[in-house]
Structure 1
Amino acid sequence: MMRSLWAAASGMKSQQTSVDTIANNLANVNTTAYKAQSTQFKTLLYQTLQATSTNAEGEAKPTSAQVGLGTRVASINSNFTQGAQLANDSNTAMCITGEGFFAVQDGEETHYTRNGNFTWAIDNTGAKVLTTAEGYKVLDQAGRPITLPATAGENGFTVNPDDASISYRNPDGTYTNTGQSIALYQFTNRVGLSKIGENLYDETVASGEPVSEWNTNGVIRSSVLQNYLEGSNVNVADEMVNLIISQRAYEMNSKAITTSDTMLEQANNLKR
């Protein structure tokens, strides 16, 4: 009976993690470039109830007699499918179509993101610096913050969707190329990236090192669409179905614990 108690308890804990993951997905249904997550499970160790043979001849059994000891969470994976392209009035709104990531600078550290909800900030010299809403500087292909002169960009600026190069519009209607292009990186295993919050990711051993799109052979380059943002790829209908499934599984594991407790109680009453 004790096996059933622990197995059901492990199931309740695992389903609670699944519900937590689904709740986080639903909470971020309108978060720019958010990627939905799913909980993956794996079985725990099995206990052998009988030997390989049950007769005097020592013949091997065609089937085993093993009982499982429950489950646990194996991983929580992100789904990196493309989100919807949502039109935006801001010229600093940028959407990646493809597998690329923006690189942003946080002090001495570099993080990666799909969230292109950028804005212009003013640095100490008066120049305009392209940053995230949190103030992290967006990097170019040389690893430098993307900047515009203090008087530039008042008449607008453009981002070339093919090479992500930046140009600003002059009063006479002509455009001047800044010589900077937005850096886009890919990873061998995007699911292995470490999430640090604020829609930012860090590279890990599992994800591999960032691969630059602009100078790596064999990499399918992404495009940057100006005046668009990538929407969340959370499907509310799917998440509600998964929530019901997890809730039912939690209830069934709870029922298994109650049933095991009742059976133990009846076994203890036999001696009375």
Structure 2
Amino acid sequence: MLRSMYAGISGMKGMQQKLDVIGNNIANVNTSGYKKGRVTFQDMMSQTVSGAEGPVNDRGGKNPSQVGLGSQLGSIDNIHTQGNRQTTNRPLDLAIEGDGMFAVADSVEAGDNIGDTYYTRSGNFYLDNQGDIVNNNGQYLLGESGSNDGGGDLSKINIPETAKSFSITSNGSVNYIDDNGDNQVAGQVRMAKFANPAGLEKAGSNMFRATNNSGDGIEDLADTEIPGTGGSGQLVSGALEMSNVDLGGEFTEMITAQRGFQANTRIITTSDEILQELVNLKR
């Protein structure tokens, strides 16, 4: 069979994978904290027709002659660029301006005893009936409770029911006004920072998991940063970071992927016509 036919099949498969990623990006264009994906390709092995030869006597050298056997998926990358900021004027909506991620956990017990930990850029948080700050899945926002002296444990942050009002500053300090009208500190939001954010694994629901290539996840308070320190970004209360998907760029990529798919189908049909001619040689 013709090698071009199999090369065309590999190209069609690659373009389909590219369209799958583009479709997911477009579907999440309004998902807060979403980080877009990108597909890269690499060529497959090449069949050597003739090898390279160095110069000998009065004859010059020759370059190798190779025929490529198609393309394959190189990588599907998560692009962690900053998304646009959308103002909501809701005090529990937090946007990160810079690097870093919020850390949330399914359960939090005393002494840095926390359950499965996830990381997110989506900052739409809420209060549960106990006054704890949670996300829309009921997972606790991790930080330091009480005074911000850095000497405590990683814990959930609680705002008392008696609080008259509360606010969150750009450095993550959660403050509230008590019954006497005095300002009190409920806790300090802490952020996780990774050496390689692109190495994080998507876990659904706007969540990421730490992997062997992203850098270690957080285990205690020492693994976290106060917003605005240690290279982490500052918080903006009353705003959300939206998706970093650029619709114009995605539609352009979609067109090129569609044309690439069509071109590869033409390779297959042309190869089929040649095979048909070979079959018709003997009648």
TM-score norm. by structure 1 comes to: 0.90
**Contact residue 50 and residue 65 of structure 2 kept, 8 A:** yes
Q: Which range is displaced more, 56-65 or 129-138?
A: 56-65
Amino acid in the other structure paired with 2:81: T
Distance (whole Å) between structure 1 residues aligned to residue 232 and residue 104 of structure 2: 19
Aligned partners of 2:179, 2:87: CA distance in 1, in Å? 26
Work out whether 1:165 is the aligned partner of 2:173: yes
* Match for residue 189 of structure 1 among 196, 208, 224: 196
Corresponding position of 2:16: 16
Correspondence 1:31 to 2:31 = yes
CA drift at 1:171? 4.5
The equivalences for 1:234-253 within 5 A come to 234-253=245-264
Deviation, 1:190, is 0.6
Please tell me the residue identity of whatever aligns with 1:25.
N
3-state SS of paired residue (1:139): strand
* Partner of residue 110, structure 2: none
Amino acid at match of 1:49: V
The residue identity in structure 2 corresponding to 1:117 is: N
1:187 Cα shift? 0.6
* Identity value in percent: 34
Structure 2 Cα separation of the partners of residues 240 and 220 of structure 1 = 34
Check the 8 A contact 1:36/1:234 in 2, yes or no.
yes
Checking the alignment, whether the CA contact within 8 Å between 1:53 and 1:59 is kept in structure 2 is no
Aligned length, in residue pairs? 263
Determine the structure 1 residue equivalent to 2:224.
212
CA RMSD, Structure 1 to Structure 2 (Å): 2.3
> 1:135 is paired with a residue of what secondary structure?
coil
- Aligned 8 A contact 2:83 2:242 in 1: yes
Is the 1:187–1:209 contact (alpha carbons within 8 Å) kept by the matching residues of 2?
yes
Partner of 1:140: 143
- Structure-1 separation of matches of 2:281 and 2:50: 27
Contact 2:51/2:63 (CA < 8 Å) preserved in 1? Answer: no
The Cα offsets for residues 146-169 of structure 1, whole Å up to 9 and x where unpaired, read as 1122322xx22111212x111112
Which residues of structure 1 form unaligned runs of 5+?
A: none
Give the drift of 1:58: 12
Instruction: Pick the aligned partner of 1:260 from 271, 274, 279.
Output: 271
